[in-house]
Amino acid sequence: MSRPGQGVMMPGSGLGFPPQNVARVVVWEWLNEHSRWRPYTATVCHHIENVLKEDARGSVVLGQVDAQLVPYVIDLQSMHQFRQDTGTMRPVRRNFYDPSSAPGKGIVWEWENDGGAWTAYDMDICITIQNAYEKQHPWLDLSSLGFCYLIYFNSMSQMNRQTRRRRRLRRRLDLAYPLTVGSIPKSQSWPVGASSGQPCSCQQCLLVNSTRAASNAILASQRRKAPPAPPQPPPPPPGGPPGALAVRPSATFAGAALWAAPAAGPAEPAAPPRSPSAPGGAPTPGQNNLNRPGPQRATSVSARASIPPGVPALPVKNLNGTGPVHPALAGMTGILLCAAGLPVCLTRAPKPILHPPPVSKSDVKPVPGVPGVCRKTKKKHLKKSKNPEDVVRRYMQKVKNPPDEDCTICMERLVTASGYEGVLRHRGVRPELVGRLGRCGHMYHLLCLVAMYSNGNKDGSLQCPTCKAIYGEKTGTQPPGKMEFHLIPHSLPGFADTQTIRIVYDIPTGIQGPEHPNPGKKFTARGFPRHCYLPNNEKGRKVLRLLITAWERRLIFTIGTSNTTGESDTVVWNEIHHKTEFGSNLTGHGYPDASYLDNVLAELTAQGVSEAAAKA
């Protein structure tokens, strides 16, 4: 459809704050690592609003409405999102828009990322695009909003003005965001004084208020002494398309006063630092506030003030093995201290050292005792000659007089017929036949084992469901890819006298085969190439040889749902742990780790990969 009229360059002033006596659309947003406010979905926002009506100081469990947000909890008292498994905390805000805007109509604008998935624009960008679309402008220039993108409605595409790269664009109808009517709620704090506005006179409140006043005075003094913040680079693209502009550094909130001083009248929010990207350098409201007017370009400082004496410093992300505080406990401690009115500064944990120093090609050497430097895998070709009945009979011995005990597959007694009778029929396999596996001796109905094998990978191997003993050569469902391995002249922590074996896995995106969860559907491959590290000693080379065997049997990776991101139909690790952190162990995936080599050998053995099995 052609769109008449002229293109439009939208002003960057936003929508403004709606009057008090009209309905407003509520959109909850979280601050990402690029200092951009990202909207929650309409379903999640409805859930947050429902919890807010019941308890304005409570917690919101996001996993109750979105399975991908299972680890996340929002603390309404401190206005932070908390990730329970890592302790990561991010600010959240409650933003308001006109009911006639895109969120009020349930309209979502999205761009296609490199993996083929669709990513929603920031809410203010979404509203701007929808306004231009409704006015039938043929194109929209986002440069006045700080983004070097052109939106073309005729082709439904987004173009980077610098690189000329285009991405697909789409407009999708979804659930409308929640409406609210009436006065805007006050920001939450605890403990709360009398309704007259006078502070409470109990000993606990006096202590908290005096602590607040002292902390605010210290921080205000340090702000006066602090040098002005350096100018910020341009903001990242809307919603995060990579490769267009420099990424703005993530900011912290230690430089702003944590509370407003108690007073008889309405409390004034603590004055935050000026943001160079805000119009006219005007300050933005305090972070701990439910009342967020209009879209704001930035809300945080670029440089962090020093932590005042006596104020505890808690890492935002204190990962496993880096200190005395468990990550989840660190995050909860920060939330509780804020809720109790105690001063706390959120600091950053040290960053992991993922990669070694640069290595020239001349310094990269083959691994002694391991032939070659690369292995490739191709698509699996099923061996049609191995039918389930033949495979099961190969590893089992028939039992004429079975004991009166349960078959652990169908849970029927071995002296009776298999529970798969009438469900599965195989010529020559009667439902009452019982067999014993050769090495481990566990007994099952033959028909049950045929059913188990038919529902598996059908690779000619059999695994005992009781003791996990493997009969034959087990193979997996790893997609096609490449494995490289070589020596680099650097040492791992804990192995100062040895060089390092570096393994590089690379798997491209592709289409799922018949052995995968959704045959014919596209799968993604995030984070490739993946670099892993082993010490170049006798045991490290042994692990490498077995990893090569596991790779050739397609056991290192599989296609499933990511435990980290919740994304489905993506390449994930397959129960054989690797060390992906070179110079530290902040994530638990690095060195030193005295038990790692023994543990990974045990994991390989559980997959049927061992030197003993190779010799057998």
pLDDT in tens, 388-429: 888 888 898 999 899 999 998 888 899 999 888 766 666 667
Residue 408, number of CB atoms within 10 A of its CB? 14
pTM (predicted TM-score): 0.47
Going from the N-terminus, what domains does the chain have, and what CATH number goes with each? 23-181 (3.30.720.50), 388-472 (3.30.40.10), 481-607 (3.30.390.130)
Average pLDDT over residues 538-553: 95
% the chain with pLDDT above 90: 37
Calculate ∠ Cα 155-158-162, nearest 5°.
Answer: 130
Look at residue 605 and tell me whether its pLDDT is greater than 60: yes
Mean pLDDT over 593-599 rounds to 93
Q: What band does 337 get if pLDDT is binned at 50, 70 and 90?
A: low
Lowest mean pLDDT among 18-27, 296-305, 377-386, 527-536: 296-305
Angle at the Cα of 24 (from 134 to 102), degrees rounded to 5?
25
How much is the pLDDT for 171? 94
Q: Tell whether the model's pLDDT for residue 180 goes beyond 80.
A: yes
Return the sign of the alpha-carbon dihedral for residues 74, 79, 84, 86: positive
CA distance 313 to 260: 20
Q: What is the pLDDT of residue 379?
A: 61
Flag whether pLDDT at 537 surpasses 50: yes
Average pLDDT of the segment spanning 455-462: 82
Asked whether the predicted pLDDT for residue 327 surpasses 70, the reply is: no
pLDDT for 89 equals: 85
User: What pLDDT is recorded for position 616?
Assistant: 53
Structure tokens at 221: 């003094």
> Cα-flanking dihedrals φ and ψ of residue 159, to 5°?
-120, 135
On the question of pLDDT at 220 being above 80, the answer is no
Average pLDDT, the chain: 75
**Overall average pLDDT of the 56-81 stretch:** 88
Tell me what percent of the chain is helix, strand and coil, each rounded to the nearest 5.
20, 20, 60
Q: Read off the pLDDT band of 319 (50, 70, 90).
A: very low
Does residue 15 surpass a pLDDT of 70? no
Where is mean pLDDT largest: 162-166, 180-184, 204-208, 518-522?
A: 518-522
Of residues 482 and 460, the one with the higher pLDDT is 482
Question: Average pLDDT in the 419-446 region?
Answer: 83
For residues 342 and 395, the model is more confident at 395
pLDDT, average across residues 69-80 = 88
pLDDT band with cut points at 50, 70 and 90 for residue 173: very high
Determine the pLDDT at residue 455: 78
| pLDDT for position 295 | 37
CA distances from 555 to 59, 223, 392, 475 (A): 41, 56, 22, 6
Q: Span 198-204, mean pLDDT?
A: 45
Q: Which stretches of 400-526 are assigned E, i.e. beta strand?
A: 434-437, 443-445, 462-463, 470-471, 481-488, 500-506, 510-511, 522-523
**458 versus 471: which is more confidently predicted?**
471
